[in-house]
Structure 1
Amino acid sequence: MSAPEPDENGAQQLLVVIDPVARRTDGESVRIAKDVLSAGATAKICLPDGPAEFARVLARRGSRRPVVVGDDRALLRTVALLHRERDLSAGALSLVPVGVSVELAHSLGVPTGAVAAARAVLDGVVRRLDLLVDDSDGVVLGDLRIPAPPAADGHPGRGGGPGGPGGSSVWDTCRSLVRTLVKPAPQVLAVHPHRLRVEADGVVLSDLDEPVEAVTVRSRGGRAEVVIRTRSSAEPITASALSVTVSGADFRYRADAAVTGPVRTRTWTLRAGAWGLTLPAEA
């Protein structure tokens, strides 16, 4: 991402890419963002119809600074595209969060509301943020989670009671009466723990003989923070590392908003300050 150059009047040059989902879900916020950005900079407005055109527009940005108007998925798509171009380290990305899911954007420090976010694009500063990159070239901006899958329902079938149809009717009546008089205890969703091997910088934190109920990895100040919850211990296993490898039985994982898998093994490497996001100066 080449450094943006001002136009002949000294104004910023922006490439404003408006995600189609944002246009459909909140056209008014999109209009406000366009007006604020166009009033404060030389803005080229692009309205791609889908992910393929979104990628083409971004690839042809030249020296214009990219500004995405969209939700968390649009942000993730943009960072993934720039990562694959190996063009994240230079310049910065800007975002105006519009859409149904914008929790990730706000957790990164992007303001709530189209006006505040657009003003941050114009007047903010670039903050370098960490990135988790896996061995399939996927990226994680926020949290990575490996939850234990729900266990199959092991309750016995509810057939009729003894005594044929008449006995079944009596038992059904009794059960119905009991349910109206006694409040049933809330059901707890059982989980089937994983058999996983978790390594941090080559050090084994949990091996295949230890049932694992959940693994969480997130970036914290230039390191990857690892939290493992096992069935045998009330206290989680924690570690700080630059590389985390999980292997074992097939597992699925949630990286930001996307669920991936099943996979047998995956390694995530933390890249400190790998990408820049424009945030309010006071953030």
Structure 2
Amino acid sequence: MSAPDPIEQALLVVIDPVARRVDGESVRIARDVLRGGAATKICLPDGPEEVERALARRGRRRPVVIGDDRALLHVVNVLQRRRELGDIPVSAVPVGPLPAVSLAQTLGVPLGPVAAARAVLDGTERRLDVLVDDGGGVVLGGLWVPGGYGPGGETDVPAGPAGPAGTAGPNGSAEAGEAGAEAVETMDAGSGPGCGAAEGMGGRGGEGHQPWWSPAARTARSALTLLTGPGPAAEGRVPVPGCTRLRIEADGVLVTDLDRPVTRVSLAAADGGLAELTVHTHDADRPQRSRARRITISGPAFRYRADNALTGPVRRRTWTAHAEGWRLVVPRG
């Protein structure tokens, strides 16, 4: 794998508004490091429409997302809709507490703002498999059905920063969030909402490297473990009572039908353009595992959690694995 071409060192830096409220200091640090190493255009969107317009007008700039997993997923889904996801490398600077940035961590992106920004400038591209559903949605890490696992056993609670957006900082205090917002307000005297041109070229920022995730952990099964929890007994997670009746097919072959209740279904992109499917049934001691390119789940309305975001209810959904379907910039080595 080679580093991005020099012409691609021009960056479109999309700073998520939640990140500006939650941890403005980290946002400012990351922005300064990026400005010090590449020509940058800073985008401070007020909503998803402005992100889409910025990506449509990015020219040859590489997109960089400063924010949590949801901000990264939004940019990835926009690029997928524009049929550009496999054509350009995407970079991320995670900002926010765990589990709001657990997907980025799983993918190998450093969690420290300096280390992550340096990876944007000096890193290398990884071509990663991806799952795309029949509605056009992208799954980068993994998903499971039903979507009712929470960190304390609660059901159907979307993962994200503690409390409503903008009310708590990384340490859980409202004061930290407000201080972060004030720090980011001072970024550019002439910058307001929207995407203004803020170009810069110069030296690199300071230290503060944080080790990034071990390559050995970046497998389909490990991704699901990190994003959803390895099981009922781990980290205080408790399964939702009862079972779900689903029909599951893998490349047209029936895996389980409505007459065999399932307690949990996991799905993640594996190597070679295949998806790894794990089905826990009520009447079996061990899960049933298989790999296929296309997985279809149908039955009574169900919810699922993909990359820690809750979706549904739906009655039928098909996911297709795409080999090397997207490109992510990560640290070298």
Shorter-chain TM-score category? 0.7 to 0.9
Instruction: From the superposition, tell whether residues 148 and 19 of structure 1 become closer, same or farther in structure 2 (CA, over 3 Å).
Output: closer
Instruction: From the superposition, tell whether residues 206 and 45 of structure 1 become closer, same or farther in structure 2 (CA, over 3 Å).
Output: same
- In the alignment, the residues of structure 2 paired with residue 75 and residue 141 of structure 1 have an alpha-carbon distance, to the nearest angstrom, of 10
Q: Does 1:245 align with 2:296?
A: yes
The TM-score, its normalising length taken from structure 1, stands at 0.81
Percent identity over the alignment is 59
The TM-score, its normalising length taken from structure 2, stands at 0.69
Query: Which structure 2 residues correspond to residues 262-277 of structure 1 after superposition, within 5 A?
Result: 262-277=313-328
CA contact (8 A) 1:148 1:191 kept: no
Q: Does 1:205 align with 2:255?
A: yes
- Greater relative contact order (Cα < 8 A, sep 6+): 2
Query: Which structure 2 residues correspond to residues 188-227 of structure 1 after superposition, within 5 A?
Result: 191-222=241-272, 223-227=274-278
- In the alignment, the residues of structure 1 paired with residue 110 and residue 5 of structure 2 have an alpha-carbon distance, to the nearest angstrom, of 25
Structure 2 match to 1:52: 49
What's the CA shift string for 1:37-96, capped at 9, x where partnerless? 111111111111121112211211011111111110000000000000001111201111
Higher strand fraction (1 or 2): 1
1:233 counterpart letter in structure 2: A
CA contact (8 A) 1:33 1:114 kept: yes
- In the alignment, the residues of structure 1 paired with residue 321 and residue 5 of structure 2 have an alpha-carbon distance, to the nearest angstrom, of 31
2:130 counterpart letter in structure 1: L
Unaligned segments of structure 1, at least 5 residues? 151-187
Q: Does 1:258 align with 2:309?
A: yes
- In the alignment, the residues of structure 1 paired with residue 258 and residue 14 of structure 2 have an alpha-carbon distance, to the nearest angstrom, of 46
CA radius of gyration, larger in: 1
Unaligned segments of structure 2, at least 5 residues? 150-237
SS in 2 for 1:262: strand
- Quote how far apart the aligned CAs of 1:244 are: 0.3
1:32 counterpart letter in structure 2: I
Aligned length: 239
Q: Does 1:91 align with 2:142?
A: no
- In the alignment, the residues of structure 2 paired with residue 46 and residue 261 of structure 1 have an alpha-carbon distance, to the nearest angstrom, of 31
Structure 2 match to 1:142: 141
Runs of 4+ in structure 1 off by over 3 angstroms are: 4-7
- In the alignment, the residues of structure 2 paired with residue 204 and residue 76 of structure 1 have an alpha-carbon distance, to the nearest angstrom, of 31
- In the alignment, the residues of structure 1 paired with residue 324 and residue 314 of structure 2 have an alpha-carbon distance, to the nearest angstrom, of 28
Please say which of residues 81-90 and 250-259 is displaced more in the overlay.
250-259
- In the alignment, the residues of structure 1 paired with residue 39 and residue 253 of structure 2 have an alpha-carbon distance, to the nearest angstrom, of 51
Structure 1 match to 2:110: 111
Task: Give the CA RMSD over aligned residues.
Answer: 1.8
CA contact (8 A) 2:147 2:305 kept: no
Structure 1 match to 2:13: 16
CA contact (8 A) 1:5 1:64 kept: no
- In the alignment, the residues of structure 2 paired with residue 148 and residue 16 of structure 1 have an alpha-carbon distance, to the nearest angstrom, of 32
SS in 1 for 2:66: strand
